[in-house]
Chains A and B, each alone.
Chain A
Amino acid sequence: MAENNSIWDKLFNMDRRWIFLLMAVVVIIPFFFKMGLPINTTDEVEGIYNYVDSLEQNDAVMIGFDYQPGTMAENQPMSEAVMRHCFARKVPVFITAVLPLGNGLAEEAIANLTDPDEPGTFQRVRYREWHSYDYGQDSLPSRVTHDQLVNLWERDHQLREDAMGWVFEGVDYVILGYAPLFHIVLLGMGRSIVSQYPADLYGNPTENMPMVKRNKSAREVDLGVTVAGSSAVLWWLTYAHESYGMPIAFGVTAVMATDYLVYLQSGQIVGQMGGLRGAAEYEVMLKRDGYSIEEGKAFRGMDVQSIAHILIVILIVVGNVAYFAGGYHRKGRRLRAGR
């Protein structure tokens, strides 16, 4: 077939390296010019937010870091948003991971939420630090709550001025971490958390931790949030929700979101965060209710995603205009192999 060098031919057979270059430009530019486009919240994300917002310090949430660094751009803001919400509401958080790499991501999320250089973060106290501290004449209750511990701790310690509050390891959160065959671990936690995780990620015995004493098994946990880049979310549904009734919420990547909406409609999950948009919606609600002083990475990332989506739509329009104007629909001409 003879090559035609009309403008439509050139557009129709555009070298994909131009597309790569255009995409690179449009994803970089919004980092320099903040657009801050407002985001409307959806029922899917509000379901999780309202559920967490109804919990108190006697309740508990279990968050699964069920993703790898590959999807952390989408998943990490979800985990951090839910954890921030729990910390602000003083709801204890159990952290697990389906994959070994989830341990490091969980540590990173905690480090970000307790970064002393960032205003609006929390001030972390490690387990060994507060557990072995000498409280004088007062003895530390074995099932000490967050508020009780704050009263004791603040006698000798000052909260950072720009901090949102204290976060005590073992009272407000514990990183249980990765365990092989996690679906079996989920089943086992329905019997006893300590039986599956005798120690946390740092080797601290979990049986001594107040939050574990108050929530001995996963049956006593009020919400499981699995943030995942894989179908591991279904393990939570099958083995935690269906086996012993733990309410479940999903945080999944955008490409997975369509797969799991069925569980939302059937009432098997309380809500779902889909992709960066889901995380951004959660961040918007956190700021609205004063749980954070500004939106996080997901909200900022939505500017980039907006421009990238517009570029893709423009490319689709250009491709179709070239398809019809170049006469490809009549002649049955084919585009050259992608370069």
Chain B
Amino acid sequence: MRRTIPLLIVMVGGIMMMIQFFIPHQISQAVFGLYTDYVPVIAGFALILGVGSLTRVHYHKVRRRAENWQYSLLVIFFLYLMPVFGIILPASLGGQAEEPSVFHFLYRWVQIPIQSSMFSLLAFYIASAAFRAFRARSAMATVLMLAAVIVMMGQVPIGDYLGKWFPALGLWILRHPNLGGKRAIQLGVGFGILATNLKIIFGVERNWLGGAGR
């Protein structure tokens, strides 16, 4: 039963949604409407599961004093602090209604700078990686390096100054050789997704069931 019922739900739901997509009948639309209303509600429960799971993992790390357990403590602290300021105590730092709330303060002046700083580190690592990786070791590596240099210079206004052909050639590389390669990959991925979906719907692929699928 642990295996059959989930398989049946997926099969019936999957086939029903496939048929529904191609039949613009009133009943079909009503089923679809019901589906789009219910699914976000069900997704809300996934949030509870996620928060519970995250809390459990980090709680155990703190309890066992695992390596870097202090970070886990911070994760738990801020995981629960933000909803407290967002939902229970939506007050401002100065207590005035027109001032931004503490939640907004933490978001604007803690979360945004932290995330932006993390992403901005990319510029430094890309510079270092480009220096080490783009070497003319072979014919293919030389082509890759030249393409990278042309596209890089074509993307910035100073490329126009160095030569009008920089942006034109950069765009040509993006619009033609790049496009051909990307399209081939994406078609492959698309067919792969279609095949996997059909396998899941018809119960051939059962890994998603976890232990019960064996």
A binds B: yes
- Whether A259 pairs with B152 at a CB distance below 8 angstroms is no
The residue of chain B having its C-beta at the shortest distance from the C-beta of A182 within the complex is B40
Within 8 A of A (CB), among B145-185: 145, 148-149, 152-153, 155-161, 167, 171, 174-175, 178-179, 182-183
The residue of chain B having its C-beta at the shortest distance from the C-beta of A105 within the complex is B112
Main secondary structure of the interface of B (DSSP, over half): helix
List residues of chain A with CB within 8 A of the CB of B112. Answer: 69, 72, 104
- Whether A181 pairs with B40 at a CB distance below 8 angstroms is yes
Interface string of B110-153 (1 = CB under 8 A from A): 01111110111001101110111011110000000100110011
Given the complex of chains A and B, what is the CA–CA distance between A171 and B186 in angstroms? 40
Let me know if B74 is at the binding interface, CB within 8 A. no
Q: How many A-B residue pairs have CB under 8 A?
A: 159
Interface string of A227-268 (1 = CB under 8 A from B): 000000000000000000000000000100111011001000
- Whether A315 pairs with B131 at a CB distance below 8 angstroms is yes
- Whether A306 pairs with B156 at a CB distance below 8 angstroms is yes
- Whether B137 pairs with A329 at a CB distance below 8 angstroms is yes
Measured CB to CB, the closest approach of chain B to A238, in angstroms, equals: 11
- Whether B167 pairs with A40 at a CB distance below 8 angstroms is yes
Let me know if B188 is at the binding interface, CB within 8 A. no
- Whether B135 pairs with A315 at a CB distance below 8 angstroms is no
Choice from B118, B152, B157 contacting A38 with Cβ under 8 Å: B157
Given the complex of chains A and B, what is the CA–CA distance between A23 and B124 in angstroms? 6
Interface centre among A179, A181, A338 (most CB of B within 10 A): A181
Interface string of A316-339 (1 = CB under 8 A from B): 101110011000010000010010
Choice from B115, B119, B175 contacting A265 with Cβ under 8 Å: B175
Let me know if A39 is at the binding interface, CB within 8 A. yes
Interface centre among A27, A108, A262, A316 (most CB of B within 10 A): A316
List residues of chain B with CB within 8 A of the CB of A69. Answer: 111-116
Choice from B37, B171, B174 contacting A195 with Cβ under 8 Å: B37
Given the complex of chains A and B, what is the CA–CA distance between A313 and B163 in angstroms? 15
Measured CB to CB, the closest approach of chain B to A193, in angstroms, equals: 12
* Interface size, A (range): 35 or more
- Whether B158 pairs with A338 at a CB distance below 8 angstroms is no
- Whether B36 pairs with A19 at a CB distance below 8 angstroms is no
List residues of chain B with CB within 8 A of the CB of A58. Answer: none
- Whether A19 pairs with B128 at a CB distance below 8 angstroms is yes
Measured CB to CB, the closest approach of chain A to B158, in angstroms, equals: 4
Interface string of B30-74 (1 = CB under 8 A from A): 001101110110011011000000000000000000000000000
The residue of chain B having its C-beta at the shortest distance from the C-beta of A266 within the complex is B183
- Whether A188 pairs with B37 at a CB distance below 8 angstroms is yes
Given the complex of chains A and B, what is the CA–CA distance between A112 and B94 in angstroms? 22
Given the complex of chains A and B, what is the CA–CA distance between A323 and B136 in angstroms? 8
List residues of chain A with CB within 8 A of the CB of B114. Answer: 69
Given the complex of chains A and B, what is the CA–CA distance between A325 and B197 in angstroms? 54
- Whether A319 pairs with B132 at a CB distance below 8 angstroms is yes
- Whether B119 pairs with A71 at a CB distance below 8 angstroms is yes
Given the complex of chains A and B, what is the CA–CA distance between A319 and B148 in angstroms? 15
- Whether A180 pairs with B132 at a CB distance below 8 angstroms is no
List residues of chain B with CB within 8 A of the CB of A68. Answer: 115
Given the complex of chains A and B, what is the CA–CA distance between A180 and B43 in angstroms? 7
The residue of chain A having its C-beta at the shortest distance from the C-beta of B46 within the complex is A180
Let me know if B3 is at the binding interface, CB within 8 A. no
Choice from A23, A70, A254, A277 contacting B127 with Cβ under 8 Å: A23
In the A-B complex, list the 6 residue pairs whose CB atoms are closest, starting with the nearest: A188-B36, A37-B157, A70-B119, A306-B158, A69-B115, A69-B112
